[in-house]
Chain A
Amino acid sequence: MLNNPTPLIHQNLRLAMENSVEEKPVEQKGGLLGPRKPMAQKQNDDDMLNPTKRVASYMQLIQQKREELKNG
């Protein structure tokens, strides 16, 4: 029986963060019939609606702080 799911959740989120591909910024082409927002930006907006992605970003932020603290 799984009493404490914390290690599993932490591990899954960390792996998801490692596997996520960093997107390059896309140049906006300003044609009249072009999309108002580039698709990459739309994707990012959708990501921010996902609570898991938001939690991953908070986790990453705190991990960076910890790394900074370790490195002095």
Chain B
Amino acid sequence: MADMDAVPFDAPIPGQSLTAELGSRPWQQPAQYTTVEEALDYYLPRLQSEEVSSQLLDVLEMGIPVTTVANTMQLGSVMEGKHSVDVGMLILPVLVELIMLIGDTAGVKYTSGLEKDADIRGSLVDLAVSRFKAGEDTPEEKEEPVEEDTDTGGLMSRRVK
């Protein structure tokens, strides 16, 4: 089913992936770090460095959610060919916790981005139920049956007195 919320113009043109030679992009090459541990070893020193951590704290102070920052970081690394999308998905929760730890240590008030989904229990059905409970998806109001006019006013019918 087509997603009505999706922006139709924010999508690649059909065939756009074929405009560059196969293997010319970093993400089309074998990933540099193939395990969760290797990928975390790549992120940890970077997050702990003064330059990155100060920028990170600035971003958190601006009110950008931790989940968005973590997702952007892993997506950037996937594009650089550092690790695969799978490893990126696996390390996401650890990145979120790490960023929150850095924020807590520095005493920065941040938005985690997890508050909204406190009621989500995983499956899409549960997501739909939680949305329904929150009142986002109100059921369509039932149309009241319109009383049909029973008076069939044909030419030959009797006049109602």
Contact = CB atoms under 8 A, between A and B. Distances in A.
Q: Which 8 A-B pairs have the closest CB atoms?
A: A6-B67, A62-B97, A7-B117, A1-B6, A10-B93, A6-B71, A4-B71, A13-B93
Contacts of B97: 59, 62-63, 66
Contact of B67 (A4, A14, A59, A62): A4
Interface string A10-46: 1111110000000000000000000000000000000
Contacts of B114: 7, 10-11
A47 to B, nearest CB: 14
Interface in B75-105: 89-94, 96-98, 100-101, 104-105
Interface residues of B, number: 31
Contacts of B37: 54
B36 A51 contact: yes
Contact of B71 (A5, A62, A65): A5
A55 B89 CA distance: 11
Contacts of B3: 1
Contact of B100 (A54, A55, A66): A66
A13 B67 CA distance: 14
Contact of A59 (B70, B71, B94, B120): B94
A58 B94 contact: yes
Nearest to A52: B90
B117 A8 contact: yes
Nearest to A13: B93
A70 B68 contact: no
Contacts of A11: 114, 117, 120-122
Given A1-B5, A5-B71, A7-B116, A70 B121 contact: no
A58 B40 contact: yes
20 contacts: A1-B3, A4-B67, A4-B71, A4-B113, A5-B71, A6-B70, A6-B113, A7-B67, A7-B117, A8-B120, A9-B93, A13-B93, A14-B93, A15-B122, A51-B90, A52-B90, A55-B94, A58-B94, A66-B104, A69-B101
Nearest to A16: B122
